[in-house]
Each structure stands twice: as C-alpha cells, then as structure tokens.
A and B are shown apart, each in its own frame.
Chain A
Amino acid sequence: MRRKKDKTVLQCLAYISPWIIGFLCFGLFPMGYSLYMSFCSYQMVGEPKFVGFQNYIDLFTTERYFLKTIENTFVFMGFTTVFGMGLGLGFALLINSIPKFKRFFQTLYYLPAILPFIAGTMLWESMYAQYGILNSVLNTVGMERVKFMSQDNAMRSLILMAVWGNIGGKITMFLPAVAGVPSELMESMDLDGASSWKKFVHVTLPMISPTIFYLLIMDIIGGLQAYGPMMMLGGGTATRTATLQIYNYAMTDRMMGYASAYSWIVFVIVMIVTFIFFKFGGRKVYYADGD
C-alpha cells in the first residue's frame, strides 16, 4: 500500500513538472522580484532603493483615486461577468435547441471575439466618436448626438464593448457542456412531465456546473485585471481601473516601486474574492466522476 502511494506522488510530480519549472522561472521569480520592488523606490535608473512600507502607506493615505479605481474595477468586472455569463448561457441554450444552423450561429456570435484587439478597439473608437458611426446614425434618425465617452456614459460604453466581444467565447464554452448533458436524463424528465424551467434547473444546470464554475472564476479574475479597453478608448476617471493605473505608473511615469505595491494590493484583493467564490461555489459543483 505504501509503495503505491509513493509511486502516485512521484508520478503526480512527474506530470506536473513542466508547470513547476515554468512557474519557478517565469512566475515565482518575477513575482518575488516585484514584491521586493514594492518595498523599494525605483525609477528605472540605478538600483532599487529600499524604503520599507512607504509605498503602501502612500497608497493608502495619499493616493486620491485609489478607492475609485478599485470601485471601477469591480463595477466593470461585475457587469461584464453577469451579462457575459447570463447572455452567453442563454444563447448557448437557444443555439443548442434549434435543429439546424447551429455552427452558423455559433460562428456568427463568435466573430466579434475573433477580431484582433487592435482592430476591435479601432472599430469601437470610431463607433463611439463624437462624429462617429453611432452618432451619425442617431443624427439620421433625427435624435441628438450622444457623448458616449463622457464621465457618465464611458463605463457603460466600455461594458457594452466588452460584452459584445465576450459572448462568443462563452457560447463556445457553454455549447459542448450543454450538448453534453446526457439525453437520457432529459428524456426521463420529459416523461415525468417536467417543465422546461424545471429541466433546466435540476438537470442542465448541475450537469454544466463545472463549466459555469470555471468560466465564472476566469471571468472574475480576468475582469478584475482589465485595462485594454480603458487604455485604448479613454474615459478618464470614470473608467480608470486599477490595472490601468498600474500600467500608467509603470510605463509612463516609471514609478516602479509604487506601481509594484499597487499591483500587490490588487493581487491580494483578487485573491480574497476568488477564495470566497471557491469556498462558496466549490461545494455546489457536481462532478461526474463523483468526487
């Protein structure tokens, strides 16, 4: 018995080894270095200078927009996740139910996500511009021009753009899961005379719960680190997420230590949120292999 256990551990490690190597070299070491830098002051010249907790103190006491960026980050993540997952699952169910053209619709919805980052942002830039496409459409209909990137509207505009691009990916992930629900279970529910809603809640949802869980976690983690759309489209204080602020501090202002401290705070927040979800949601996920 003991031998088998040892062998298992060894095999386990053997298979995991590529990741371990990658993690040590490209994960742990840079992380450690950046943690060290968060306690230093470094402007890309000379050597980092150790300043203890000064960066963190500055962040918590003097950084005026600190809470605002955290708030923006959570708002963006929250809305894109809810809309993305909800609409994604909804459309996946729709597409799964129709007899023909499944792949056509799947591709149609996924097209936005295929657009390369730059092309997509250029496109939405021209859509939201003052004299851009959406406004000229409104104009033709006789309505007033709307400032899409004003302080009030900017976040909504970005969320729309993000969801538009996200849905396709969700549908692609949900479709196989939904299709993979064993038809016997569905049929037995039908025979019992269950309504569609009941079927959905009691059969489909549990069967696809691993996928939902996975996508949810990924979405949360990704959403909390979003900065691409904000960077390219702007939006000022209303859309400045934490990671965007970190990027600006690091790349433009070269405040490496400060930016590192900032990013470590964001990291801790993300970790806490994910941990909560894991604990709370992990129990509700049903695995086919009975674990």
Chain B
Amino acid sequence: MATTKTKNAFGDRRVRTRIKNIVFYTILCIVGIMMILPTFVMVTSSLKTYDEYYSMVFTFLPKEWAFDNYVRVFQENADFMTWIGNTLMHMVTSTAICTISSIFVAYGFAKFRCKLADALFMVLLCTMMIPWAVTMIPSYIVWARLGMTDSYWPLILPSIGGSAFYIFMFKQNMRGIPNEMIEAAEIDGANSFRRLWWIIVPNCIPAIVTMILFTSMGIWGDYLGPLIYLRQPYKFNISLGLNMLRAQTTQGKQDTPMLLAASVLMAIPSVVMYFVGTKIFAKGISLQGGLKG
C-alpha cells in the first residue's frame, strides 16, 4: 500500500516541485530586482560625470563612464586611507572583545540556572531598552573628565561588557543544545570551561559567525558613536570622513558622483565580509550534528 502511494506520489511530486521552483525563483527574482535597484542606481550614478548627474535627466546607464571618480576619491582626500585604517582597527578590536565576552556571559546565563542569574538577565534585557540618547551625554562627560575623548577608547572599552543583543541570542542558541551532550562531557570529567569551548561553541558557530559578521559591519559603518568622540580629521573613521566630504560644498554643489563612489568603496568590504561569512556559516550548519558529531 505504502509503496504504491509513494510511486504515484513520486511522479506527481517531480512536476509539482518543478512548478514550485519556477514560481519561487520568479518571485525571488522580481523582488530581488526591486531590492537591488536602489543600490544599482547608486553605483551607476557614481560612474556618471558631474554634469550628467546634475542635468536632471535620469538615465539608467551613464553616457560617459567616469571611472576617475573612484580615483579622485583617493586623490582628492589625503586622509581616505587613514580613515580606512582607523575603521579596521576599531572593528577588529571591538568585535573580538565583544564576541568573546558575549560568549562567556551567555554561557553563564544559559547553563547555570540560579535565581540571581534570572534576575540579572531581566536587567540585561532592560539595558537594551535604554534610549541611546539617555546615556550619550553622561557618558561623554565621564570620558571627558577622564581626558579620553578624541580617541577610540570610549568606543572600544564598552565592548568588554559584550552586547546584550548577542548575549540574548547566544543564550537562546545555547539553550537549544540538548543537555545530554553537555552532561556526557561532564561525566567524562570536563570542567565548565572545557564544556564551553569544546562542546557549546562548536555548536553555536553559525550564531557566532553571524555575530562577528553583524558586529563588524556595524562598526564599519558606525557614525553616531565616533561623531561624538572624534575631532581630528586624521582620527575619523570612514563614516565620519564621508560625512565630512558630504558637508563640504564647492560652489554650493556637492560632488555627488564622487561621494557615491566613496560610498560604494565603503560598501564593498561589507559585501566581501558577508560572502566570506556565509561560506563559513554554511559549513557551520553541517557541524550541528549534535550527538552524532
């Protein structure tokens, strides 16, 4: 009985799957085009000459390809490489500290249940709700009194506390790991740290990679934080630098194509990071074998 059913169903299913796939692909493509269109326009506009962009006649592709916009970004702005360097430094240090810290903290919350931890977790959630504007001014004053403004310290040090966002996410993730695995390791004599490092973390790789990805990209494009603390142009990160360029107007007009070129340049590393990340990420899924691994 079952075999017959499967046989008939098998034939039908192939066709059905085919149709399903075509429909899905079409929807994804159409919406995908809508999603990509603004970015596409940004890239093409960055390759237009100054006059063509401001001519108020909208063209999909530039008539004259102005590749020199990209070259000019570096030529006309001596600090551009410096900004990139600054942003990289900020990104790597903050992400590393924040990720490691978040893993530890999430582990504490996820696998050691006690009333105190539950209470503290509620506090953690509350901290996510503080409007950023509230802590902005007091923080600035404190850093100023310590004499550490106009530097990256106010931006990097707070990552010691991890990120409430990701602590929450890791906790959810770690709770999803069946206890039997951990208890098995405990019986084998692993202490809490080993349990964390060798059992839990490998099973959370997709989440961890996601965090590293998102956090890095967030810092790459971070604007509001550096805006408050950084003053000297050579210390700026990319967002601040770009904003400074944007605010500079010659003859009242912005050189928008060049600005867009700079924006595209700024966006490329993010895209690369994302691609690399999802590759690791895809591998990570296969590691989620659980008890079989």
Contact = CB atoms under 8 A, between A and B. Distances in A.
A/B contact in complex, CB under 8 angstroms: yes
B223 A105 contact: no
B105 interface: yes
B41 interface: yes
Nearest to B5: A193
A183 to B, nearest CB: 12
Interface in B272-290: 274-275, 278-279, 281-282, 285, 288
A109 B126 contact: no
Interface stretch (B70-78, B88-96, B113-121): B113-121
A111 B105 CA distance: 31
A228 to B, nearest CB: 8
B162 to A, nearest CB: 5
B165 interface: yes
B138 A107 contact: no
A164 interface: yes
20 contacts: A15-B105, A21-B160, A27-B127, A27-B130, A30-B138, A30-B142, A94-B27, A107-B275, A111-B39, A114-B270, A116-B242, A117-B223, A136-B56, A164-B38, A176-B206, A211-B172, A217-B125, A246-B133, A256-B137, A289-B179
Nearest to B128: A221
A119 B48 CA distance: 17
B130 A259 contact: no
Interface of A is mostly: helix
Given A22-B160, A116-B239, A270 B134 contact: no
B285 A176 contact: yes
A173 interface: yes
A105 to B, nearest CB: 5
Please give me the 7 A-B residue pairs with the lowest Cβ-Cβ distance, nearest first. Answer: A22-B161, A15-B108, A116-B221, A119-B263, A12-B112, A33-B138, A30-B138
Interface in A119-152: 119, 122-124, 126-127, 131, 133, 136-137, 140
A29 interface: yes
Contact of B105 (A5, A16, A117, A210): A16
A-side interface size class: 35 or more
A179 B66 CA distance: 44
Given A109-B35, A214-B169, A267 B131 contact: yes
Interface in B150-192: 157-162, 165, 167-169, 172, 175-179, 192
Interface stretch (A55-63, A64-72, A96-104, A198-206): A96-104
A22 B158 contact: yes
Interface of B is mostly: helix
Interface residues of B, number: 97
B130 A250 contact: no
Given A108-B35, A122-B263, A260-B134, A23 B127 contact: yes
A247 to B, nearest CB: 5
Contacts of B275: 103, 107
Contacts of A99: 21
B223 A15 contact: no
A115 to B, nearest CB: 5
A31 B107 contact: no
Contact of A112 (B39, B128, B214, B223): B39
A9 B175 contact: no
A29 B263 CA distance: 37
A26 interface: yes
A157 interface: no
A34 interface: yes
Given A107-B275, A179-B285, A91 B31 contact: yes
A81 interface: no
Interface in A152-195: 164, 167-169, 172-173, 176, 179-180
B291 to A, nearest CB: 12
Interface string A14-28: 111011111101110
Contacts of A27: 127, 130, 135, 161
A214 B270 contact: no
B116 A267 contact: no
A291 B111 CA distance: 11
A263 B206 CA distance: 36
A287 interface: yes
A266 interface: yes
A104 to B, nearest CB: 9
B123 interface: yes
B107 A137 contact: no
B271 interface: yes
Contact of B124 (A19, A25, A214, A288): A19
Given A119-B267, A214-B172, 8 more contacts: A15-B108, A18-B104, A97-B20, A133-B58, A210-B175, A218-B165, A250-B133, A274-B129
Nearest to B241: A118
Nearest to A37: B138
B28 A31 contact: no
Contacts of B131: 225, 242-243, 246, 263, 266-267, 270
Contacts of B109: 12, 16
Contact of B178 (A116, A224, A243, A289): A289
Interface in B232-261: 238-239, 242-243, 246, 256, 259-260
A160 to B, nearest CB: 11
